[in-house]
Structure 1
């Protein structure tokens, strides 16, 4: 057993290092998913954002109608309906990109 001792020590260290790297990867993945869920729960608890999302469906219909009418992008962007839709989609995009 004595001649193998110099080989066993680095082998054990390499296995321990591999386990540590895997553990860090799993912990980061779980933390990222937890942060995303926390973000969505926080936005659901905020009353102004809840009101924003409640009007989202109606405003999407209005913006879609403006597009169907042939309005220019410059005209559509200035409407409050577009700003509501834009804000809601930005909130959702941030959460999804972080997941």
Structure 2
């Protein structure tokens, strides 16, 4: 349960406790208090109903939060256990190494794409970037819990986006749309700042380059 949900639930329980342990005893206490408080008895019904509604909303919110966490964990279990996902990751890392060697030699990205020997590597890089984009879209649409995703996925995502930045920029320019990998770029930029802050405050002082 998130902090805001916990606060709502606590406040709701406090109000409900006041109603049960304070208001009700006063209402049904002996004269003269009873006559005075009975006039306000009709007001307590909507109050209790409102408290119950708040508790219900908090419970639903908590269940949604748990569902998002489970969805994220299920997805990452698949990335670590599914043969196809493991193969896609291995292919990506191998293709990325080939791409970095290519560009380190002073050759541009277009020759990497047009070369029959490296064209498949380029497609493997794009395929795994789409996996990262899927995670980012899932977080944006509240399908995945961002906290779980950050703890498990942030280092890999930020590094991959940083190292494939020329590929992403080429795809944006070639495709003519700034929306390509938009959620991935946005999330990676945010996470890179969080990682840098963590390293500065709790780590070994190293900072992470932002995208």
Which interval holds the TM-score relative to the shorter structure? 0.7 to 0.9
Unaligned runs of 5+ residues in structure 1 are none
Q: Which moved more, 1:4-13 or 1:22-31?
A: 22-31
Total equivalences in the alignment: 98
Q: Distance in 1 between matches of 2:47 and 2:77?
A: 45
Match of 1:69 among 86, 97, 107: 107
- The question of 1:93 aligning with 2:133 is answered yes
Q: Contact 1:56–1:88 at 8 Å: present in 2 too?
A: yes
**Pair 1:59–1:51, CA change in 2 (3 A):** same
Q: Please tell me whether Structure 1 or Structure 2 has the larger radius of gyration of its CA atoms.
A: 2
Give, in angstroms, the shift of residue 66 of structure 1: 4.1
Relative distance call for 1:38 and 1:73 in structure 2 (3 A) is farther
Deviations 1:10-68 (A, max 9, x none): 00011111111111112111201210110111232221221121232221122234445
Larger helix share, 1 or 2: 1
With 67-76 and 2-11 compared, the bigger mean Cα shift is at: 67-76
Partner Cα distance (1:74, 1:82) in 2: 7
Tell me the TM-score normalized by structure 2: 0.41
Aligned in 2, Cα 1:57/1:37: closer, same or farther, shift over 3 Å?
Answer: same
Supply the distance in 1 between the matched residues of 2:82 and 2:61 (Cα, whole angstroms): 32
Give unmatched runs, 5+ long, in structure 2: 1-36, 139-143, 145-211
**Length-normalised TM-score, structure 1:** 0.80
Distance 1:70 1:85 in 2: 16
Look up the match of 2:70. Answer: 34
1:20 lines up with 2:20 in the alignment: no
